[in-house]
Structures are given as structure tokens and as C-alpha cells.
Structure 1
């Protein structure tokens, strides 16, 4: 029986992936590392612990990892965070989930303090029962730690949950935790890419899921093995 939905935040409920990508690209440039916008965009969904080693050599990582994290965080909060907007339909979709008895957890690679603000931006703070952030994980997505923590906090089994995300990293992380994923293309990945990554359904955005809710797997109380 489907009991819970584990929702990603960035690129799924709020329109922030392009902002994150630009901030990462600028950050790497500051340290003399060339990372294009598209390269950065296709890393969004991971946490900094996964993104930085993708572009920084193993030899330089001990010296650069902390300064890069600190620079990016400062830049993003100073120039980008206040530009984040909710995707239309975010609150409406979660209201429909609650109406059919589903419990909701947010499972995000964002830091805890940022996650609280993002819930307010999305207008969903009163609808979310539990949440997990990068602070709750030894490793961020695509490792399963964040989704596993969400399952544990809700007290549900993987077979009783569905994840909602926008990147292959969400799908991979959820799959490692034993949870199937419904995906949206609003984060910058194509339907084909998300299906190839293992998504069980793909929609344009959360508004489309809300409009098609009665036909969605979210409106069913059983999750196929």
C-alpha cells in the first residue's frame, strides 16, 4: 500500500536549478576551474560533497573543497536565493496528496536552514510531516542516505513510498533506498533521460501532475514491485 511521498525540493517544487548551476559555474571560475553552465546544471540534485569532486582533482580536493563550499554558499545566498520561486501547482499537488491520505516528507540535498525557507517559498510548510536535508546524510544524492532518513522518520517501508524528483540523481538515490520515482522535467532533464534513469512516470512539472492526479500513480494506494 502506498502510504507516503518523499519530495525533492530544488527543480521539483521550486524553480532553482538554473540559479544553482550559475552559482556553481561562477564559483569554479573563481578558483580557476572552467565549468560551463550546462555542465553544472546536470550536476544539480547532488550535494556539494558530490559536485566538487566531479570537477576538482583528487590532489587539489583537500585544499579546495572547503573554500569552494564556503564561496558558493556565500555567493548563492547573496545573489540568488531571493530569486527562487515556487513552481505553479506545488501546493495544490501536495494538498491532493494529503486528501487521499498520503503522508509527505521533503527529502532534499539542501542544507537544513535553506530547506525551511524553501518550504515557505513553495507554500507547503504546513503540509509536510517530516523532512531530511544534507545535514541528515553522510553522503548526498545520488547516495540513498537522504531518502533512507526520510523513510526512517516517517516509519514507512520502501514499498510503501514513492519519491518525487527532477533529476537522475534523485531517481538513483531513491532506487538505492528501494523507492520508485515519479519525475518532472522542470529541472532541466528530458523525459527520455528520466525514463532511462528509471522513473516510473514523467510529467512536465508538478502542475501537470496535479492536473492529471487521478491517473497518476500517486492516486493509487498500491506500489507495483
Structure 2
């Protein structure tokens, strides 16, 4: 019986993946790296500590990695943050989960100064009992740190939780923390990619999980 549902944020509760990819792509190009939008987009879901080494050498990271990430953050906030919208039925889904007696946490690779804004956009600032972000941990997804920190704040073990995320990196990180994952396709990764990463169930998005809640892993696990 799961005691908690731990949600990813970008691409799971809010429609922001393409916008983050645009900001990262522009940052890469500005700092002289021939990296396409599609290449960057395939890495969204990781924090900067995991994304940047995919494209920059160690010498390049030391030379301008931090400056590039800071530029990316400012670019996202100024140009793309106003365009971020929540997926449909997000507050309804979280309220349904709470009504079932399941505690709620958000475990995001976002920066702390972005997290509160995202929770407001999603309309769930008062619904999440626990939040964790990349600033709380040494390594972002697909390392398990963010999920392990959420478990620690909740005071439970991985077997007591279910994670909900849109990327293979969510599923990999959750599995390392001993958590079963429900995948959603809202972030743009394919069902096959999510299955191979370890997702036990997959839904088109939050609205579909809300509509199918009684037959989902969350409800079925509680009555098994």
C-alpha cells in the first residue's frame, strides 16, 4: 500500500519541456557549441550537472560551464517562463490522490528559485506536502538523490511510494531509490522509452491518470 505519490514537475504537471530545451539550445549555440534542439531535448529531465557534461568536455565545463548555465537560467526566466502552462486536471488529480489518503511530494530537477513559481503555475502550491529540487542534493536525476531526499522528508522507504514522471531519467532515478514509477507521455518521450527505463504503467498525461485513477497502480496497490 503506497503511502505517498512523488511527482516530477516539468513535463509531468506543467508543459515546459520544449521551452527548457529552447533555452538550453540557445545557450549552447551562444557559447559556441553545435548542439541541436533535438539533441538537447533528449536530455531534458536531467539537471544542469548531468546535462552539460553530455555536450561539453571537462575543459569546456571549467572554462564556461557555470556561465552558460547561468545564461540559460536567465534566458528561460525572461523569455519562456511566462509561456509555461499547467497540463489539464493537475489540481484535480492531486486532490484525488490526497482524498485516497496518499501523501504528496514533488521531486524536481528545477532550481529552488524556479520551483515555487512552477507550483503556483500548476495550481498545487497548497497540495504538495514535501518538495525537493536540484539545490537540495549533490546530483540531479537520473541519480536517485532527489527521490531519496523526498523519501527522507516523508519519513518512508521507497517501497512505500510511487513516483510519477515523464522521462526515462525519472524512472531510472526512482528505481535506484526503490520506487515504482508511473510514466506519462506529456513530456514527449515515447512509451517504449519509458517502459525500457522501468515504468510500470503509462498514461497520456495527468488528466488520463485522473480519469483512470480507480484502475491505476495507485488505487490498485492500495486494494491489493
TM-score of Structure 1 vs Structure 2, range by shorter chain: over 0.9
Structure 1 position 220, deviation (Å): 3.1
Structure 1, unmatched stretches of 5+, are: none
Q: State the distance in 1 between where 2:185 and 2:19 align.
A: 16
Residue in structure 1 matched with residue 92 of structure 2 by the alignment: 92
For 1:85-164, list aligned pairs within 5 A: 85-164=85-164
Give CA-to-partner distance per residue, 1:7-46, whole Å, 9 cap, x none: 0000000000000001100100001101111111110100
Runs of 4+ in 1 over 6 A off after TM superposition: none
Matched residue of 2:59: which SS? Answer: coil
Which aligned pairs between 1:1-225 and structure 2 lie closer than 5 A? Answer: 1-222=1-222
Q: Structure 2-normalised TM-score?
A: 0.97
Deviation readout 1:83-110 (Å, 9 max, x if unpaired): 1000001111101100100000000000
Query: What is the distance in 1 between the residues matched to 2:61 and 2:126?
Result: 40
8 A contact 1:147–1:177 mirrored in 2: yes
> Partners of 1:69 and 1:25 in 2: how far apart?
11
Over the aligned positions, Cα root-mean-square deviation in angstroms equals 1.2
Alpha-carbon distance, 1:186 to partner: 0.7
Is the deviation greater in 59-68 or in 202-211? 59-68
Q: TM-score, structure 1 length as denominator?
A: 0.97
Question: Residue 164 of structure 1: SS of its match in structure 2?
Answer: strand
**SS in structure 1 opposite 2:6?**
strand
The answer to whether the 8 Å contact 1:106/1:132 transfers is yes
C-alpha deviation, 1:221, in angstroms: 4.2
Runs of 5+ consecutive residues of structure 2 not aligned to the other structure: none
Q: Distance in 2 between matches of 1:167 and 1:79?
A: 24
Counterpart of 1:80 in 2: which secondary structure? helix
